Amino acid sequence: MASRGVSLKAKGKSSNGSKGSEDRSLSESVKEWSTWAMKKAKVITHYGFIPFVIIIGVNSEPKPQLSQLLSPV
């Protein structure tokens, strides 16, 4: 049976790390956070754009009905 090469790295600061590893850890944390934030922003934009446009349209002058906003005519 083949064994998997699973790496068990501890997350966070290492106890015997130097300044370089702390900088790398900080840059990795920033990269992970920015990736996470961009994924969340993509989902929010994807599911929120059309409802946002409808809300803006309903609150504009003259006041259209919802059926007028959704119909292509």
Residues 6+ apart with CB under 8 A from 57: 64, 69
pTM equals 0.47
Q: What residue ranges do the domains of the chain occupy? A: 26-57
At 58, the pLDDT band (50, 70, 90 cuts) reads: confident
Q: Cis omega (within 30 of 0) on the bond before 62?
A: yes
Q: pLDDT digits over 22-43, tens only? A: 677 888 999 999 999 999 999 9
